[in-house]
Each structure stands twice: as C-alpha cells, then as structure tokens.
Structure 1
Amino acid sequence: MRYIRYASIAIFAVALILIALANREFVTVKVLPGEIARLAAMTPAYDVPLFVVMFGGVLAGLVLGFIWEWIREAGERAAAARQARELQRLRAELRRLKGEKHEGKDDVLALLDEAS
C-alpha cells in the first residue's frame, strides 16, 4: 500500500512539473480592475508565469475548502467534546459507586468484581 501511495505522489509530481513546463509564458496579473485602479490612483500589476497563476488558484481553492469544512464541522467537534466530558463524568461516578459498594468488604473480592 505504501508503494501505491509513493507511485501516486510521483505521478502527481510529474504531472505538476509537466504543467509548469508547458505554461511558462508570462502573463500580466492585475490586482484591481481598471476602473477601480484609476479611482484609487494605483495600478498594481505583476508579470508572472501562467503556471504560478494556475497553481495559486488551486492552492487558494484548497485553503478556502479546508476553512469551509473546519467551520462546518465545528458543531460536530463541540458535540464530540460534550460527549467526551459526559463519558468522563459517568466513569468517575461509576468508580465512586463501585468504591461505595465494596466499602468494608474484602479487597481481593472488590478487585475481582471491579475487573469484571
């Protein structure tokens, strides 16, 4: 299974390298649309290779997707934390009740009963 994972990573890396080599032309990336840039009296524009723009878009999508899922799952994480606290409370109560049950009895029998 490990070899399949390594082979998949290698294929993915080769594909990314081929995409980068095929899209080396420089493109102008403008940060603001022309109308807004004229109003703000600034025209930030950068000449970057096309593959940087493509990979940047994919990376931005991945980051936004991860953030979206993290926010969406916040309720589930909170419910799991509540259940863990409740389970811990119930285990403590069970230990306390078993201790009261075996109070004043033989220690060996208490240990055997607790183990079962």
Structure 2
Amino acid sequence: MRFIRLLFLALLAIVLIALALANRQIVTLSAFPANFGQYLGGTWSVSLPLFLVIFLAMAFGVLVGFIWEWLREAHLRRESRQRAAEVSRLEQEVGHLRTNHVGPRDEVLAIVDGPTARASSSPKPRPIASPAPAPGTTLPASR
C-alpha cells in the first residue's frame, strides 16, 4: 500500500512538473472587466505564469470543497456529539445502578464475572478454592 501511494505521488509530481514546463508564458489576471478598474483607482490586475494560475485555481477549488463538506456535515458531527454524551450518561447510570441496587450475590455469577467484579466489590480478593467444602456439597455422615 505504501508503494502504491509513493508511486501515485511520483506520477502526480511528474504530471505537475510537465504541466508547469508547458505553461510558462505570462498571463494577466484582472479583478474587473476592461477599463472598469480605472474608476476604482489603481491597477486591479496581476501578471503571473499560466501554470501558477492553474495551480492556484486547483488549490482554491480544493479549499472550497473542504469548507463545503465541513459545513454540510456539521449536523452529523453535532448529532454524534449528542449521542456520545447520551451514551456516556447512560453508562454512568448503569454503573450507578449496579453499585447501588446489587442483588444477592450468586456464587456462579461471581465465577462468571471473573476477578474484576470481585476486586471491585471487596478490597481483598477471596481465594478461589478453600480447604472447607462449600455449604450443601458434603455427603451425609456415615453411620
């Protein structure tokens, strides 16, 4: 992919250099129609090489396109910010509900939740296995 990008940039540079070399003659750009600038005072024209006029026109077109798209997508960015704020608020609410309205602790759910849930609910981790059997798992005493 990097090679293709470099190849594209090299071809673009060659085309732009060829365009610049083929259009070196000087042209005059006027801001107003003929003889209208004399009524405003001063000269409202500039002489530049033709390739520079072409490059500036392309750069101006790209700039106008960027600004146009930025303005066109403003409502999408605003909606995205609003949705992100709503998601953040809902995540905080769910976290608050989990901490304040926790039901009775089920051992199976504690195993499924993993060590992160146990670490957040108690300051020191409980051992996974203990020497004493779990309640309700022992066999009746022999007679």
Using the size of structure 2 for normalisation, the TM-score is 0.71
Give 1:37's aligned residue: 37
Using the TM superposition, give the Cα deviation of residue 104 of structure 1 relative to its aligned residue in structure 2, in angstroms.
8.1
Q: Deviations over 1:56-98 (max 9, x none)?
A: 1111100001000000000000000000000000000010011
Give 1:99's aligned residue: 99
- Detail structure 1 runs of 4+ shifted over 4 Å in the superposition: 103-106
**Contact 1:32/1:43, CA 8 A, preserved across alignment:** no
Distance 1:62 1:10 in 2: 20
Give 1:112's aligned residue: 113
SS at match of 2:28: strand
Structure of higher CA gyration radius? 2
Higher normalized contact order (CA 8 Å, seq sep 6+, divided by chain length): 1
The alignment of Structure 1 onto Structure 2 pairs a total of residues equal to 114
Give 1:83's aligned residue: 83
Percent identity, aligned pairs only, is: 36
**Contact 1:30/1:45, CA 8 A, preserved across alignment:** yes
SS at match of 2:36: helix
Structure 1's 43 and 18: CA in aligned 2 closer, same or farther, altered over 3 A?
A: same
Using the TM superposition, give the Cα deviation of residue 23 of structure 1 relative to its aligned residue in structure 2, in angstroms.
0.3
Distance 1:24 1:59 in 2: 18
Distance 2:96 2:105 in 1: 15
Using the TM superposition, give the Cα deviation of residue 102 of structure 1 relative to its aligned residue in structure 2, in angstroms.
2.6
Using the size of structure 1 for normalisation, the TM-score is 0.86
Structure having the higher helix fraction is 1
**66-75 vs 42-51, which deviates more?**
42-51
Q: Structure 1: any 5+ residue segments left out of the alignment? A: none
CA RMSD of aligned residues (A): 2.5
Give 1:10's aligned residue: 10
Distance 1:71 1:111 in 2: 48
